Structure 1
Amino acid sequence: MDIDSNNPSLNESEEVEEPQKGMCFSSKQEVYDFYAKYAKHVGFAIAYRTQNVGDDGEVKYFGIECTRTRKRTKKSEVNSLKPSLSTKIDCKARVRASLRKDGRYMLTTVMLEHTHDLTPTDSRHFAMNKRFLTLAKRRLEINDEVGIGVAENLHSIVVEAGGYEALTFDERDARNHIESARKLRLGVGDGESLRDYFQRMQQQNSNFYYVIDFDEDCRIRNLFWADARSRATYEAFGDVVSFDTTYLTNKYDMPFAPFIGVNHHGQLILLGCGLLCNESTETFVWLFRSWLSCMSDAPPKAIITDQCKAMQNAIEIVFPKAQHRWCLWHIMKKIPEKLRGYSQYEHIKLALENAVYDSFTKAEFDKEWQAMISKFNLYDNEWLGALYGERHRWVPVYVKDIFWAGMSIAQRSESMSAFFDGYVNSKTTLKQFVELYDNALRSKVEKEKKADFKSRHKLYDCLTIYGFEKQFRATYTNAKFKEFQGELKRLIYCNPLLVKEEGSISTYHVKEFVVVDEKLKPMEFVVYYNSTECEVQCMCRLFEFRGIMCGHSLCVLIARCINEVPDKYIMPRWRKDLERGYTFVRTTYTNFGVGFNAKFHDKMQKLLNEIVELASNDEGKQKIIELGLAEIKARVRKDESGCGSNVSHSTSNVPPFDTSPKSPIGGCTTKTSMSS
């Protein structure tokens, strides 16, 4: 029986009377409270054990015993080699009370001797002494609603109380209470709660998109959603997408599947997310098609995933032209699991890491890999054999020719799992997630705004006198300019040598000392320079891979007395001086200082919705819309002076435009759908 949770804690310093035979109490509860007070003072826990109830329903006799009474029993002899914890040691301490004729209960049996040691300070850990005051409950709930984790939440209460000893509950109690509160926060039914939430979001912004997939029993099987800002963001940063389901499994065992990109600061951005019933090819196909439809059928150019075969099959079906890469972090973390059994494990691991991380050409990697296989006789290892067969999907030197928007090939940092870290965990419920979703996105938007502010108002000092450093400082965000400066520092170790000239093409060998396996290793990078096109290309492929010019290329430009780089090497993706449309999209988690832009965006979006609806099933009308929008876009771009009110209504001077069908990303060409 529980003690009233609103009662104040017992005063440890007051005298506690010892139970004696013949003591009388007015009720059963009074007997329990008396014995509980004594047990807490001495240092043991109690529980009801036996009672006798008369025909009139009144308790005639009952007993309260130490919880360590009775003998330990094993549930099964099958698992006898697997030890388990038990408190039972046949302790005899107990009291028994009988109902007297006057309606009072008298102690008829009192046994005070225990067969175990008693420690009064242990009392606060016994369940019978746990109390959760209403004030503490409410504080935990409020902190949880604003995204404060349980550990940090409880820590603030512990500090205020003066230590754990002053609390009448522990972290497990706090977690259980918060989990219970979360279940009630959005209502009773998960499906109904989610659907209601999505419908509310769409009412606030018609460009909120969601799809719910129900099974034959009308239970949620899969779901996908993307808010209006995520859809608009895809237009600017949807070229490279990272997708992962290995991080979060909620209490319903549904894999969490967010689509993540990176913005102009290299920060993670959300491009939609789903919850899936399983990880089959069929399920991934459903999710990818839902996401593609949401993004106006514009697939990403490159996508990063783990090694899931079902995922790979689905990508080949839905995104056949996208470059598909495996996350190197997922692969390298499997090394202990796959190779630990070998006697030379540490040496094999080192050789594998050197081949992967320290090879600068495909030929060098292949040579190092084959040497490792031969030296340690790993020809029969199927895992390594399969990895080598798919090396074009994960080995750094095999994927560096493709633009991956700065997403690291060797670290976990780009993983979409990191996006919701601190907001969700393995026990997050469906109903709770849609609440924390807004909190996570609100935090990400604020971080982007702060980075924008710093890039506009604060500049890093230049390290050199070269004009191209000032070029990048004036145009790139601080984060990307810092990456560029990292390449400038390499100039100290680079020495260019012109080895051949054929027409406009000059070939340089740039020697650089790099650190490999804690030793200096001289490397030679081939750099080509085209004087006609003013193009420079290095074998390290850093610009192709990250969009940042490498130190080897800069070294050659300096050798040719070139002080500024062509605009082709200043990627719009990393610029800080562009006004990107997604920043004006209204959502439930964003507030804007410039209300006019947000209102105008909303107004135009609604107008575009109406126009698209009129032409949804008519190719002729669709063509009219495409031509009209292209004309409007050309006229707006031409009016660089900003004098929109003076734009002529004549179209005779409008420059020619592409008449091929195009779908505006982040628009409303896709209607919200519900599948069952």
Structure 2
Amino acid sequence: MVFRVDYVGDCLSNSGLSIEEEDDGWSLVFEFWVWQEGKWLGSICSGDKGIEVSIWVDVMFLDPVQTKRCSEPYTGVKPPSLVDLTSPENPRSELTRETAADCIGPRRRTPHTCPPDGARSSVFAAYDGTKYWKPDVDPSYIPVLGSVYDSWEHVTNMYDAYAAKAGFSTRLGTHRKINDVTRHRYILCNRAGKPKLQSFNSMNPEPVSASKTSRSSLTDCGACIRSKFDPETQKYTLYTFVEAHNHELIGPEFMDFSSKRRMLDFSTQQFIHQLSLNKIGASVAHNVQCSLKGGHHNVRGTKTEFKNFARAIRIFIGDRDAKLVLDTLEERTKNLHNFFYESLIVGNELKSLFWADDVSRCNYEVFGEVLAFDATYKTNQYCMIFVPFTGVDHHKKCVTFGAGLISDETIESYTWLLQCFLKAHVTQPRLVLTDQDGSMKSAIEAVFYQSSHRLCMWHIMRKLPSKIEDDAVDNAALRKSIHKLVWNLIIKPCDFEEKWQLLMAEYGLAGHDWLTTMYNMRGDWIPAYFRDLPMCCLMKTTSICESSNAFFKVNSSGGNTLLQFLMCFDTAIDAQRNNQRKLEFDTNTTVPEIHTRLPIERHAASLYTITIFKEVQKEIERSLYQCSGGLTRTVGTTKIYTIAHANRKFVTVNEFEVSIDLAAKTVSCSCLCFTRIGFLCRHIFYVFRCNQVNKIPQKYMSARWARNALPSRVYDIANRYSVDTSESGVLRTEIMGIVSQCTDRLRRQPDQLAEYLSKLKELKKHIFSEVAYDPSQERTSAVISDILRQPEFGTSSFVPTQGIRNKGCGTDKRLIGPGEKAIEAFKKGPRLCKKCNKYVYDHDSRNCDKVRRATEIAAAAAAAAAAASAVASADPFDTHVHQAVDSANQPCVDDGAPVVPPNAPPVRRQPTRAAKRSSGRAAGSPAT
């Protein structure tokens, strides 16, 4: 049990008595304060367990229970028995277990509950009944009055360390200046200050508006320290220490929720930003941090602090967004080799932007025969349209030639963008691949006048089910026939036209509007009309372009600012180039497996990248097993072979002519594989084997598929924008790597880990003492400035374009064509329409054609009645109009039984989601 004893007298003001039972005896602790020589003195004596003495000092205007620790310890002699040292005027009186109760006295006795396990404080009450909590911590952490500190950081570190052990958080208090020099500074308990009191007037008849539920942690706690700065010595002296708190202290299991522990450090803030560049939000970043650091208690800050910092980044950028982006690109132009960018500013709005670096320009120089680009939406909060320019590299992977942002999809915007692209890359591509956007088509014709423009086949063919509705359900043969004809890569234009006409006649589609339109523009999308164009089959659709767009959208979201989007783009482009670097490494350090004994296969392995060699290897193998033929004729020095082309079932499906001139070292095939793709076909490899040609001639080795097609500088680390290449950034990364390596080496040596930790703490102490604390570096704006590598302050005279509305921006829902609707309806089964009394797939009683016809009849009857009324007023003897009205008003009756289509699945009578959606459309129809 624990008792509190209060005495009233001239000398002794306050004392406490604690009696505790133990296995080997008893322990009695007596605590008191006594006023002597202008100080409050205190003593703690322990019976059979020895003696522990402390000295306390207070200021006259403070309550006696608010004590401050002195710097000098008590040096009194240990008494032979447990004694009560009251004052120099009163003699020492022995205190035994039997007489302990007598010390309590008759005046006042206040029982207290023992603190729970893990508590780090003692509870006592003041004269007015107010409870106070005094921390129980190691004396080495307790502030000592009169202590001198070299800097303000040392003062704050000392009190923060004490607060962490005691179970509370601190915050900076006020400061006092003398002659514009800060002389006094205070550090308070974070629960200091009076809470805001809210009153409610019950007599006020006006209803109280709903407000956000709020809580206050302020209790007007007086715990604090005060220090005084000496201008002569440039040091701080501690002159006040209030130890008692008027609130419960935090247990060690909850200290990670204290305000100090929730403050994010620089590494955590940088971690949040770096994950945001990979489209990982603050909440997921917090979960990842918890996993990396071994639990929530080891992470600084909660999800709320993580979200607040992510928001602070956007606030920091603010209306300077456009200027920061242009400043970043301008700095790259000055510091990076061959970097190009151009912007279009109208008034004070950034309308368009284009940029391409040295790596993009090198890639275009080697792989720029075919160019594809497509608009991408929802990559930034201003709805500016992102347009990346994409090609295919020598590993058959996406490669970016440049990127742009435009404010609208007009001809003028695309024309400006393509002109910037041409200014950066100088030469025009041979083939440009886009979707059916009219603005793109007009801009390409105006700028890339030397290029061929091809429409994406996939975008056209995916519309086929929606254009031919019945085909989506019943006629798979039609779809198969059209696809087989359209995607044929070796067919000639005349053969295509003939087979198309036969196909349309077979299925009765000769007069179909959409198919006729697509046939009339066949020269823009059918491969047969591009067969003579070099590298025409490198890309037949914009799928590679769209996969590239999706790749960029993996890193960026619609809520990003332009600066954040540019950083996300840098992260994505670094990942793309890292994949290219990895494939280049694999090509240079590995040897592909050889499947045949032909020397030409080994020669091909030494020329091509691994990816392309696998395709060439297939052609060499198929020349052995799927080709046959012989020499048919000779024209001068040219030999002409007829080669039979067999499929995988070894059935001959076509024949091709191969011409070879061994003297001139030339060869060609009527399949035009080398022209279309850039490497030789199986038919030529068959003829090579017949003529003992063991190496691929140099003129038929395309430079774009060769090993080391790109200069080595494109793989330089200086071209990786998401990497911090500054001196401090490189050193920080190396330091963290070394620490991680040492920790990994000692992971099974706990003793050496503890020694390593001790050395790190000593090194930390040394660094903190040597490097002065700079509060300006800890401001949120200063931290974000370091992370984004942007100036902390500044203004902007222009902003991104506002109020952009892109094509199809009215809804986030995907448009569903009639073909897809028919397929979905077929899956659900037929439903009974109670108006036409039939089981159908495509409607119900609310949108039935019978209802529509009845509505039209009613409208016609009303019009006829109005006309009859007008005629009757002119000629009352005319009866023809009345007869027409009577016939129009006859009801539409159908009493037949429900008609069920053959082989219909079981009927589902519950309303489906499609019916619910259609009910909204039918709600406005007149009732019948």
Alignment TM-score, normalising by the size of structure 1 = 0.61
Who is 2:585 aligned against? 453
**Is 2:275 the partner of 1:144?**
yes
Which string of whole-angstrom CA distances, capped at 9 and with x for unpartnered residues, describes residues 27-56 of structure 1?
xxxxxxxxxxxxxxxxxxxxxxxx996499
The one-letter code matched in structure 2 to 1:511 is A
Say which of 536, 555, 558 aligns to 2:689: 558
**TM-aligned CA distance change 1:530 to 1:512, over 3 Å:** closer
Q: Computing the radius of gyration over CA atoms, which structure comes out larger, 1 or 2?
A: 2
Contact 2:435 2:455 in 1 (8 A): yes
Structure 1 unaligned spans of 5+ = 1-50, 68-132, 164-169, 594-674
- SS of residue matched to 2:600: helix
**TM-aligned CA distance change 1:561 to 1:588, over 3 Å:** closer
Q: Identity over the aligned pairs, expressed in percent?
A: 26
The one-letter code matched in structure 2 to 1:269 is V
- SS of residue matched to 1:252: coil
The one-letter code matched in structure 1 to 2:599 is G
Who is 2:330 aligned against? 199
Q: Which runs of 4+ in 1 moved over 6 A?
A: 58-61, 133-137, 157-163, 173-179, 590-593
Q: Distance in 1 between matches of 2:673 and 2:305?
A: 49
| Within-5 A mapping of 1:29-108 | 54=201
Who is 1:436 aligned against? 568
Q: Distance in 2 between matches of 1:496 and 1:184?
A: 73
- SS of residue matched to 1:371: helix
| Within-5 A mapping of 1:513-662 | 513-514=646-647, 522-531=652-661, 532-578=663-709, 580=711, 582-583=713-714, 586-589=718-721
Deviates more, 1:568-577 or 1:204-213: 204-213
Which string of whole-angstrom CA distances, capped at 9 and with x for unpartnered residues, describes residues 462-518 of structure 1?
122222212221121111111211212322111123333322333322223226xxx
The one-letter code matched in structure 2 to 1:398 is Y
The one-letter code matched in structure 2 to 1:497 is G
**Is 2:540 the partner of 1:409?**
yes
Contact 1:266 1:406 in 2 (8 A): no
Say which of 399, 403, 412 aligns to 1:269: 399
**Is 2:435 the partner of 1:303?**
no
Who is 2:314 aligned against? 183
**Is 2:495 the partner of 1:495?**
no
Contact 1:525 1:538 in 2 (8 A): no
Say which of 291, 304, 315 aligns to 2:444: 315
- SS of residue matched to 1:189: helix
Contact 1:339 1:345 in 2 (8 A): no
Q: Distance in 1 between matches of 2:536 and 2:497?
A: 26
The one-letter code matched in structure 2 to 1:447 is N
Q: Distance in 1 between matches of 2:263 and 2:722?
A: 33
Which string of whole-angstrom CA distances, capped at 9 and with x for unpartnered residues, describes residues 141-168 of structure 1?
34524525459758757989999xxxxx
Q: Distance in 2 between matches of 1:381 and 1:175?
A: 59
| Within-5 A mapping of 1:272-287 | 272-287=402-417
Who is 1:509 aligned against? 642
Q: Distance in 2 between matches of 1:182 and 1:578?
A: 41
Who is 1:333 aligned against? 462
Which string of whole-angstrom CA distances, capped at 9 and with x for unpartnered residues, describes residues 608-650 of structure 1?
xxxxxxxxxxxxxxxxxxxxxxxxxxxxxxxxxxxxxxxxxxx
Who is 2:482 aligned against? 352
Contact 1:204 1:587 in 2 (8 A): no
Q: Distance in 1 between matches of 2:651 and 2:524?
A: 27
Who is 1:252 aligned against? 382
**TM-aligned CA distance change 1:584 to 1:449, over 3 Å:** closer
Q: Distance in 1 between matches of 2:205 and 2:326?
A: 50
| Offset of residue 418 of structure 1 | 4.5
Who is 1:227 aligned against? 357
| Offset of residue 459 of structure 1 | 1.0
**TM-aligned CA distance change 1:54 to 1:392, over 3 Å:** same
**Is 2:509 the partner of 1:378?**
yes
Contact 1:557 1:563 in 2 (8 A): yes
Q: Distance in 1 between matches of 2:674 and 2:377?
A: 31
Contact 1:149 1:422 in 2 (8 A): no
Q: Distance in 2 between matches of 1:347 and 1:155?
A: 52
Which string of whole-angstrom CA distances, capped at 9 and with x for unpartnered residues, describes residues 179-201 of structure 1?
84663464433322322222232
| Offset of residue 578 of structure 1 | 4.9
Contact 2:501 2:510 in 1 (8 A): no
How many equivalent pairs are there? 470
**TM-aligned CA distance change 1:386 to 1:157, over 3 Å:** farther
Q: Distance in 2 between matches of 1:315 and 1:221?
A: 20
Deviates more, 1:243-252 or 1:548-557: 243-252
**TM-aligned CA distance change 1:347 to 1:199, over 3 Å:** same
**Is 2:596 the partner of 1:464?**
yes
Q: Distance in 2 between matches of 1:489 and 1:222?
A: 51
Q: Distance in 1 between matches of 2:642 and 2:305?
A: 64
Q: Distance in 2 between matches of 1:237 and 1:320?
A: 20
Contact 2:279 2:556 in 1 (8 A): no
- SS of residue matched to 1:269: strand
Which string of whole-angstrom CA distances, capped at 9 and with x for unpartnered residues, describes residues 514-549 of structure 1?
26xxx8753223122231423222232221111121
- SS of residue matched to 2:543: coil
Contact 1:299 1:319 in 2 (8 A): yes
Q: Distance in 2 between matches of 1:154 and 1:525?
A: 64
Structure 2 unaligned spans of 5+ = 1-197, 213-261, 296-301, 726-799, 802-928
Deviates more, 1:304-313 or 1:138-147: 138-147
Which string of whole-angstrom CA distances, capped at 9 and with x for unpartnered residues, describes residues 641-668 of structure 1?
xxxxxxxxxxxxxxxxxxxxxxxxxxxx
| Offset of residue 396 of structure 1 | 2.6
- SS of residue matched to 2:535: coil
Q: Which has the higher contact order (CA 8 A, sep 6+)?
A: 1
Contact 2:286 2:306 in 1 (8 A): no
**TM-aligned CA distance change 1:162 to 1:252, over 3 Å:** same
Who is 1:210 aligned against? 341
Q: Distance in 2 between matches of 1:584 and 1:411?
A: 27
| Offset of residue 322 of structure 1 | 1.1
Deviates more, 1:183-192 or 1:309-318: 183-192
Alignment TM-score, normalising by the size of structure 2 = 0.45
Q: Distance in 2 between matches of 1:360 and 1:280?
A: 36
Q: Distance in 2 between matches of 1:254 and 1:224?
A: 12
Who is 1:108 aligned against? none
Say which of 537, 544, 556 aligns to 1:424: 556
